[in-house]
Chains A and B, each alone.
Chain A
Amino acid sequence: MNPLAGLKLAVPRGTLFEPTLALLERLGVETAELRANERRLFFPELGVITMRPSDVPTYVEAGVADLGITGRDVLLEQSKLDSRHGRVVYELLDLGYGRATLVLASPAGAEDPAASALRRLGVVRVATKYPRIAAHYMEQTGRQAEIVEVKGSVELAAAVGLAEAIVDLTATGRTLRENNLVVREEIAVCTARLIANPVAYRLKAEAIDRLLARLRKDLGDGAEDRADRDR
């Protein structure tokens, strides 16, 4: 039986796509069709909708998807930092994969250009795809910042001088190094999270709890496997 029976799940494309499909496979969802066709976005026979990770909270909040999987970075940006204005979704489970760190980075060199800008100009320009996280973090750490929102490669902004620093997500740090940027501060560690629509969480409680139990078992087994390997 399809473990998603009766539930609609928003699945993120991009780097979280593969590990999410692997997880669905372990639960017994037939994922061949999901892999086969990159242009198809909606798989009603499976109860799966695919989209970019930053759209997942939008679909889940509106209730057109009952559940969704997305990164904690997306949830911090859209929902958690501002409970009154953010998207209203329930965060149910840390899925553990897609581990990456939100960092403040700036061009390498003897002096950090961000620190220098702050000292001499009183304000630092920070380029990011995460304007709320960046603004909140700079405010919390008592620094004046001008947040520059970009949609594409953030590294470019610092490399060519649009900003003195960037706030971005990095898994290996390779892209940063290749653009001559160094991590100055770590802001938050992010992994994939399972989120739910508040109404579905009640009206489809049984199906959601059954899926949660299977996911917890899968995560627990995975942790044991890793512990075995480490031994």
Chain B
Amino acid sequence: MVHPLPSGTRDVLPQEAAELREIGDALRAVFLRRGYGEIHTPALEYEQVMARGDLDRLPPAYRLFDEHGNTLMLRTEMTTPIARVVATRYAQAPLPLRFCYQATCYRAVRPARGQARELVQAGVELIGAPAPEGTAEVLSVLVEALAACGLRRFRVGVGDASFYPRLLSRLGVGQEQGSRLHAALAARDLVALSERVREVGIAGRAARILVEAPQLRGDRRMLERLEGEAREAAQGLLRLAALLEEEVVERLIFDLGLVREIGYYTGAVFEVYDPALGQPLGGGGRYDELLGRFGRPLPAVGFALNLESLHIALAGEERGER
């Protein structure tokens, strides 16, 4: 007999479960050693709580009603629930706060693409530690955790959500024109970016900077070579790079065009890459305004890794792919 499962969910049998557990345990050991306390929150949240995050970019897979008619949903990520916990349970606590988690999240999928609605994420949140020190700490935890689970060829892309807006304002581009350019960059369309730069009437040196700067990606030396407006706009990344230990910085790819789409990111943004997989294994960044939406404004930074993607990348590396 074949009994169907809800679309986008699956069973995990012993061999896979054992391998996933090994990865999760390796990550957790690093998180705990670095002082991040494990936290559990309910899979169910009020929709109005999760909506303080970004339901637009991380749309929920399942919504339901409780017996009083409140709208609930299965959480789409853990950053927003942890922000809720901090505002309600740690309102007076000394800072910074360090939390880690391994949690099942539920997201709407792209149709007909075989994506999972149910995914396990492992990550950390560091709350009350501003840039650049807090960002440097979390990047160092991220690199250590990825190495601990056995991945050898991973790299971490690091960008700054505020880089392009700053560049636009330093080059005197108006709000409306600037948002058209930013949209082309966010849609990862460099052809449209150069067309729109022409269309809004920017020419010469400014046009060249606006098209070329977001295509720059490389190691720390790339940042150090920057000049003029691009260098000014990249101050956040330069200050961050100066704080990082050697074994962290050698894993990083600084990327001036990296735009994480999730709306609550305000500063540094990360993506984790491995040559064995065509898409990022996880990501994160600074979200200095999210806690304010829960009534306790605090700078914060974190990341989440997709456990299943880590597993696929590890298996790919073992097979020596790509």
On A, residues with C-beta under 8 Å from B are 61-64, 80, 83-86, 88-94, 193, 197-203, 205-206, 209
| A198 & B188 in contact (Cβ 8 Å cutoff) | yes
Partner of B277, one of A63, A83, A90, A202: A63
| A202 & B253 in contact (Cβ 8 Å cutoff) | yes
In the A-B complex, the 5 residue pairs with the smallest Cβ-Cβ separation, listed nearest first, are: A63-B278, A90-B188, A85-B110, A91-B189, A62-B278
Q: Which residue of the partner chain B has the closest CB to A59?
A: B278
- Interface 1/0s, chain B 254-272, versus A by CB < 8 A? 0100000000000000010
Can you report 14 residue pairs joining A to B where beta carbons are below 8 Å apart? A61-B278, A63-B277, A80-B189, A84-B57, A84-B59, A85-B111, A91-B188, A91-B190, A91-B191, A93-B190, A197-B278, A199-B274, A201-B217, A205-B218
Which residues of B have CB within 8 Å of A62? 278
| A64 & B278 in contact (Cβ 8 Å cutoff) | yes
B235 lies within 8 A of chain A by Cβ:
no
B187 lies within 8 A of chain A by Cβ:
yes
- Interface 1/0s, chain B 126-162, versus A by CB < 8 A? 0000000000000000000000000000010100000
Which residues of A have CB within 8 Å of B280? 198-199
Which residues of B have CB within 8 Å of A94? 191
Measured between C-beta atoms, what is the minimum distance from A69 to chain B in Å?
13
Decide: A202 near B278, CB < 8 A? Known: A90-B188, A193-B191: no
Interface residues of B in 182-210 (CB under 8 A from A): 187-192
CA distance A231 to B171 in the complex (A): 37
CA distance A202 to B279 in the complex (A): 11
Q: Which residue of the partner chain A has the closest CB to B156?
A: A202
Which residues of B have CB within 8 Å of A201? 217
Decide: A199 near B192, CB < 8 A? Known: A62-B278, A63-B278: no
Q: Which residue of the partner chain A has the closest CB to B193?
A: A91
| A202 & B190 in contact (Cβ 8 Å cutoff) | no
Decide: A205 near B217, CB < 8 A? Known: A63-B278, A199-B279, A199-B280: yes
CA distance A63 to B321 in the complex (A): 11
Q: Which residue of the partner chain B has the closest CB to A212?
A: B215
Number of contact residues on B: which range applies? 20 to 34
B165 lies within 8 A of chain A by Cβ:
no
Interface residues of B in 215-252 (CB under 8 A from A): 215, 217-218
Q: Which residue of the partner chain A has the closest CB to B108?
A: A84
- Interface 1/0s, chain B 163-195, versus A by CB < 8 A? 000000000000000000000000111111000
Which residues of A have CB within 8 Å of B278? 61-64, 197-200
Most interface-central of B189, B192, B253, B275 (chain A CB within 10 A) = B189
Which residues of B have CB within 8 Å of A88? 188, 279
CA distance A89 to B278 in the complex (A): 10
CA distance A64 to B275 in the complex (A): 10
| A90 & B190 in contact (Cβ 8 Å cutoff) | yes
Measured between C-beta atoms, what is the minimum distance from B58 to chain A in Å?
10
Most interface-central of B155, B253, B322 (chain A CB within 10 A) = B322
Most interface-central of A92, A197, A206 (chain B CB within 10 A) = A92
| A84 & B275 in contact (Cβ 8 Å cutoff) | no
CA distance A75 to B223 in the complex (A): 32
Which residues of B have CB within 8 Å of A92? 190-191
Which residues of A have CB within 8 Å of B155? 202-203
Measured between C-beta atoms, what is the minimum distance from B156 to chain A in Å?
10
Interface residues of B in 28-83 (CB under 8 A from A): 57, 59
Measured between C-beta atoms, what is the minimum distance from B77 to chain A in Å?
16
CA distance A200 to B157 in the complex (A): 12
| B217 & A80 in contact (Cβ 8 Å cutoff) | no
Which residues of A have CB within 8 Å of B253? 202-203, 205
B106 lies within 8 A of chain A by Cβ:
no
Decide: A84 near B110, CB < 8 A? Known: A61-B278, A202-B255: yes
Partner of A199, one of B110, B189, B190, B273: B273
Measured between C-beta atoms, what is the minimum distance from A109 to chain B in Å?
37
CA distance A205 to B221 in the complex (A): 14
Known: A93-B190, A93-B191, A201-B217; 8 extra A-B contacts, CB below 8 A, are A63-B277, A83-B187, A90-B188, A91-B190, A92-B190, A198-B278, A198-B280, A199-B273
Which residues of B have CB within 8 Å of A197? 278
| B192 & A91 in contact (Cβ 8 Å cutoff) | yes
Q: Which residue of the partner chain A has the closest CB to B112?
A: A85
